[in-house]
Structure 1
Amino acid sequence: MKKILVTGFDPFGGEAINPATESVKQLPDEILGVQILKREIPTVFDRSIDVLYGILKEEQPDVVICVGQAGGRPNITVERIAINQDDARIPDNDGKQPIDRSIFEEGPAAYFSTLPIKAMVRDMKEAGIPAAVSNTAGTFVCNHIMYGALHYAALHQPSLKAGFVHIPYLPMQTVDKPTMPSMSRDEIVKGLTTLIKTAIQVEEDVKETGGAVC
């Protein structure tokens, strides 16, 4: 049976929960005959990649989709690119705050997602889920783990498809942030389930607009 690894981060930045882990753990164990492996990753530079690599070596999935919180975004955003740079605005959960540091000194400047990102967005929209392509995964641990996953695939498992998805706050996180958008856990789970189905069914991404003016 094929396997898809889906990861979510633990809470960070003073939040009591992380919608990534809260949503990922609600995913079914099997989608379209493919086993769904659900794992939590620490919101920590370097250690997050160590944990991910341990799982990849043990489970050898066919696809890895990392999921993280993007507070302030109103929709589920599928990331296009990860850059070889850590530049932390806040400390991670181990108190580390790297600035202007390469993730892998020997790595390329960037990696593009190998997931069918535009087909994922199309299918989520058709399912009634607000979704968009994102052209920046930031420079915190989300970008760090996306770059790490793609670097692993490039070096050790070229057949491994990898990428990253950002999700909004849950409503309970915005009680004291009234201007911030949010999305229910059920809607996030529906969106993640939909994009996983797309990853299973679509080999070559669709070619349609998904860019931004600025």
Structure 2
Amino acid sequence: MILLTGFEPFGGEAVNPSWAAAQLAAVALQDGGREAAAVELPCVFGKSAEVLRNAIGRLEPTLVLCVGQAGGRSKVSVERVAINVDDARIPDNDGNAPIDQPVRRGGPAAYFSTLPIKAGRAAVAAAGIPVEVSQTAGTYVCNHVFYALMDTLAGRDGVRGGFIHVPYSSEQGLRHGAPGLAVEDMAAALTLLAVAAVTSGGAPVDGDLREAAGAEH
């Protein structure tokens, strides 16, 4: 079972392309003969992690791809690391705005994705979709969910997981004067990332490509 999650709209937006793309990718994976499901998460600290954990417990996936919107980015971003801090620049959808709070008190400082992030990036790039490895998932609800995901999966052998940020949709990008990407391309990228993860064996590094995808800043 492949579980994909996306978020409800936030920050005054009417839509969130992460949820639309997750739904389309789940259908594409099903059409390809793979068991897949999509679940929408609230854009709320705490509640989002709870919904995610409940979905993992109910569906028992072997792969979890959580997806969120990063308006202003121009590429699909495969996130490398989740950090144990909530620091909200804007309130979440319930009005919460934690500052310098841990996602889980006493938890590790960070978790790395267990996706083959570079093999996934290569597969998406080969399809002509703009993609990058990102070194930060921010400190908002996306990172909160990413950290909660990896914290949950830490006790589950054989289950891979990670987080992907998508840009504004094409329509949002035009409205904001910012980069945008067609939701269909986002969904195609998620599908390719999922297939790369389930067909790449071994540990995250051993099953991944050895190629540079770092950043100078």
- The interval holding the TM-score normalised by the smaller chain is over 0.9
State the alpha-carbon separation in 2 of the partners of residues 31 and 208 from structure 1: 31
SS in 1 for 2:100: coil
Q: 2:213 aligns with which of 202, 206, 210?
A: 210
Contact 1:120 1:195 in 2 (8 A): yes
Contact 1:168 1:183 in 2 (8 A): yes
State the alpha-carbon separation in 2 of the partners of residues 186 and 139 from structure 1: 27
Please list every run of 5 or more consecutive structure 1 residues that lacks an aligned counterpart in the other structure: none
Aligned to 2:23: 25
Aligned to 1:62: 62
Which runs of structure 2 are paired with 1:1-214 in the superposition (5 Å)? 3-27=1-25, 28=27, 29-30=29-30, 32-155=32-155, 157-178=156-177, 180-203=178-201, 204-214=207-217
SS in 2 for 1:34: coil
State the alpha-carbon separation in 2 of the partners of residues 117 and 160 from structure 1: 15
Please list every run of 5 or more consecutive structure 2 residues that lacks an aligned counterpart in the other structure: 202-206
| TM-score normalised by structure 2 residue count | 0.94
Contact 2:72 2:168 in 1 (8 A): yes
Contact 1:65 1:163 in 2 (8 A): yes
Q: Any idea what the Cα deviations from partners look like across 1:26-53, whole Å, max 9, x if unmatched?
A: 1225265321111100010000011011
Aligned letter for 2:18?
A: A
Where does structure 1 differ by over 2 angstroms across 4 or more consecutive aligned residues?
31-34
State the alpha-carbon separation in 2 of the partners of residues 31 and 124 from structure 1: 19
SS in 2 for 1:176: helix
Pair 128,175 (structure 1): closer, same or farther in 2 beyond 3 Å: closer
Percent same amino acid at aligned positions? 45
Aligned pair count reads 210
Contact 1:153 1:159 in 2 (8 A): no
